[in-house]
Amino acid sequence: MRAMKAGLTFRLATAALAVAAVLAGCSTNPITGRSQLIGLVSEGEAVQGSTKAYQQMMADLDKKQKLEKSGEKDSPRTQKIQQITDRLIAQAIKFRPNSASWRWEVRVIDDPKTVNAFCMAGGKMAIYTGMWEQLKATDDELAQVMGHEISHALLDHTRERMSVARASDVGVQILAAAAGVGNLGGQLMQNAAVVAIGLPNSRESEAEADAVGIQLAAHAGYDPHAAVTLWDKMSKLADGGRMEFLSTHPSPENRAAKLKEFGAKLEPAYQAAKTNPPVAQRYVNLPVVRVGGSNERVVEPPLGANERIVRPAPTSSN
Ligand SMILES: [Zn+2]
């Protein structure tokens, strides 16, 4: 009886600690003004954990020969998605200037049955070939998909989902720390990043990513109308293939009507960007130069003959 009571008290204390930690983790997003549970994972932890998780995931896929070529010789789809994301990132940096320091990456995962794409914290992106094979997405629609994904990262939704992943584990971690189990942080963050991209976004987050994504795409010269056709195609396909994308991106209220409304407002910006396209710059998949042995550090990549890296000013026009 006594042991049972002690056990109960212990569990209650753990639960109370977890609740306190969750409450302490809430903060207001400066961009949206919405209160988000992100404080359990710092921005640095989110970016580092995501980077490690991404590298691990890509290495595993590479071993299984499930990655399209990138680097020396890009596959046509890799080239395409690099062009699209470069244009979107130029706009993303205007929206959130500190994302200029992210080491943006994008890979094409050769999995024609899966309709999915993601952008982790710190700009680590991937798109599955199912987007082309199943959905028959046009370039404008691909830009909407990636614009939406990038927006989740810009608005800290990825960090929010990592915090949720961590919160579910928080009692265990506090106990582990108290018991001196050592530094579990890095591995836990990596796990949280993997869990996060599989957790559904809230409908609120979806509405925010829709609003920002279509805006990034329009200013990058991609047709806002494609946002409507994209989600339309998604829902029509939903009964058939593996629609991972829809399970993690639930439909907010009146999605189509809202996107049409945003699209109409963004039409002038889209036309302007189409007539006078912004200068293309390379942001994604820049080579990493490593210096030194054990004290290795990453330095800015050297500029290639045809490559110019210009960080746009935070407050630029359009
Ligand atoms: Zn989404």
pLDDT at 265: 97
pLDDT digits (tens, 9 = 90+) for 100-121: 999 999 999 999 999 999 999 9
Are 27 and 36 in contact by the 8 Å Cβ rule? The answer is yes
Q: Is residue 176 predicted with pLDDT exceeding 60?
A: no
Residue with tokens 């963004």: 266
Give 148 Cα–ligand 1 centroid separation in angstroms.
6
**pLDDT grade, residue 122 (50/70/90)?**
very high
Reading phi first (left if > 0) and then psi (alpha if -120 to 50, else beta), residue 137 is in beta
Report the separation in Å between the CA atom of 203 and the middle of ligand 1, taken as the mean of its atom positions. 8
**Mean of per-residue pLDDT scores for the chain:** 81
Mean pLDDT of 288-299: 53
Rounded to the nearest whole angstrom, what is the distance from the C-alpha of residue 89 to the centroid of ligand 1?
A: 17
* Residue 318 buriedness (CB in 10 A; 0-12 / 13-18 / 19+): exposed
What's the CA-to-centroid distance between 6 and ligand 1, angstroms?
44
Higher-confidence residue: 74 or 9?
Answer: 74
- Rounded to an integer, the average pLDDT of 237-257 is 81
Half-sphere exposure (Cβ direction) of 107: Cα atoms closer than 13 Å: 19
Q: Domain-by-domain residue ranges, the chain?
A: 43-284
pLDDT over 70, % of the chain: 74
How many whole angstroms from 209 Cα to the centroid of ligand 1? 6
C-alpha distances out from residue 40 to 5, 49, 166, Å: 30, 13, 7
Q: How confident is the model at residue 24 (pLDDT cuts 50, 70, 90)?
A: low
Q: How confident is the model at residue 197 (pLDDT cuts 50, 70, 90)?
A: confident
The CA distance from 302 to 288, in Å, is: 9
CA atoms within 13 A on the CB side of 179: 8
